[in-house]
Amino acid sequence: MKRKGLIALLLSFVMMMSVMASACSSTPKTIEEYINNDKDAMAEVQKAADASGLTVDFKGNDVIYTYDLSGIDGVTEENIKSDVMVENLSNALAGQGETFASLCKQLEEESKIEGVQIVVNYTYGDEVIVTKTFNSSGAVE
């Protein structure tokens, strides 16, 4: 489910951060401050997120990706909330644990900020169906 789009968005974010690292004159303390120091970079992140059907937010050291499943043709609230679908979504996120951990590590190295986390939310409308948080060591339990 749009896994390639999410990974592409994350990778483009890492590349954009490496450019920003050389351009930042002050030392931000959080990823949120880091990205907010460059409005052009934030616009690029939003553009990539929109193209992938995701929203991206930054809060402290969390990079939060939200994918609203209600916008997919044929997906109903009933079937997305079924135990089978919740398990499938959870397993798909768990299977990407190494990728997300690697991206957190890259973000930390590029930004020189420790404690970066990536939070991935699958929602149906405003309701979170599955959420998983990753740091540079892997999934946060």
pLDDT score, position 2: 55
pLDDT score, position 9: 61
How many domains is the chain built from? 1
Q: How would DSSP label each residue in 75-103?
A: --HHHHTSHHHHHHHHHHHHHTHHHHHHH
Beta-carbon neighbour count of residue 47 at 10 Å? Answer: 12
pLDDT score, position 14: 59
pLDDT score, position 120: 95
> Residue 92 belongs to a domain with what CATH number?
3.30.300
pLDDT < 50 positions in the chain: 22
pLDDT score, position 8: 61
What is the extent of the structural domain holding 118? 3-140
Number of helices and strands (H, E) in the chain? Answer: 6, 5
Radius of gyration of the chain (CA): 15
Strand order in the sheet with 54-59: 54-59, 62-68, 117-124, 127-135, 138-140
pLDDT score, position 62: 96
